[in-house]
Amino acid sequence: MGKRVVLWLDSQAAIVMEPRMTGLVLVTTPPSQAYLRWRLDLSGATVNELYYWDRRGLGSVRLFSAARFYDLFGPAKLGPDALAVTARSYRRRLNMSKRPIKVALLDQRVVAGIGNLYAAEILHVAGIHPERRCDLLQTKQWEKLADATHEVLEEAIRHEGSTLSDGTYRNALNKQGGYQNHHRVYARAGKPCPTCNKGEVVRVVQAQRATFFCPCCQLKTTRR
């Protein structure tokens, strides 16, 4: 789910790999040598080599001192881990924001580790419309949001992530993930909602990112 892999060399230095949209961090032979950007010899460790492969070259591999790492990526720069985020944390960080909740979930300063695909799935499970303003969410909705975050991300981890039609995402063994077979709304525009079997999944664009939701399950206004 995240876009950053950190490898600590010792307590004083860390290698940070940011695959972005097309990069792969692998412990097995990469798809080709043509786009192999970096290789680390790990002889004597659990795996022998670590590869960074990137077809489009959008990502990066950088070396940081511990001090610089915490300055750039420490708690002051990132929100809580999405797998551990609570309703209280969500509400404290967002209940005064007028941003749409879907857009806010992509802000790594709010919560770390939620990408576009997973934000859509989380909001569907929580029954929250992606365009609903954060400051209009009710207490129960914050609780549902936190529960849905854990449920979706844990399910995605069990299925080793989502490999979409472009085939870009692969796991560390260069194999496809399986969570794409369990999407409820993402990339399912025009198809029946598998949750309610009444609505049809809709696609909209928010902050230049595609968003998918069911207008029956995810009402824009909350019934009281």
Q: Provide the residue ranges of all domains of the chain, joining segments of one domain with +.
A: 5-73, 87-213
In this prediction the pTM is: 0.74
What are 127-155's pLDDT values in tens digits?
Answer: 999 999 999 999 999 999 999 999 999 99
Of 20-34, 147-161, 162-176, highest mean pLDDT:
147-161
- What's the pLDDT at 1? 41
Distances (CA, A) of 44 to 25, 48, 49: 19, 7, 10
Q: Kindly report, residue by residue over 57-96, the tens digit of the pLDDT.
A: 888 999 999 999 988 887 777 889 999 999 999 999 999 9
3 pLDDT tier (thresholds 50, 70, 90): low
pLDDT band at 188 (very low <50, low <70, confident <90, very high): very high
* pLDDT of the residue at 224: 39
Average pLDDT over residues 90-117: 94
Q: What is the pLDDT of residues 192-216, one digit of tens each?
A: 999 999 999 999 999 999 999 999 9
The residue-averaged pLDDT of 218-223 equals 75
What integer is the mean pLDDT of 174-191? 88
Q: How far lies 61's CA from each of 4, 19, 107, in Å?
A: 10, 8, 22
Is the pLDDT reported for residue 47 higher than 80?
no
Average pLDDT, the chain: 89
Second-level CATH architecture of 87-213: Orthogonal Bundle (1.10)
Q: Which residues contact 12 (CB under 8 A, 6 or more apart)?
A: 65, 66
- Token pair in block for residue 86: 């609570």
CA 86 to chain centre: 17
What's the 3-state SS for the chain? Answer: CCCCEEEEEECCEEEEEECCCCEEEECCCCCCCCCEEEEEECCCCCCCEEEEEECCCCCEEEEEEHHHHHHHHCCCCCCCECCCCCHHHHHHHHCCCCCEHHHHHCCCCCCECCCHHHHHHHHHHHCCCCCCEHHHCCHHHHHHHHHHHHHHHHHHHHCCCCCCCCCCCCCCCCCCCCHHHHCCCCCCCCCECCCCCCCECEEEEECCEEEEECCCCCCCCCCC
Percent of the chain at pLDDT exceeding 90: 58
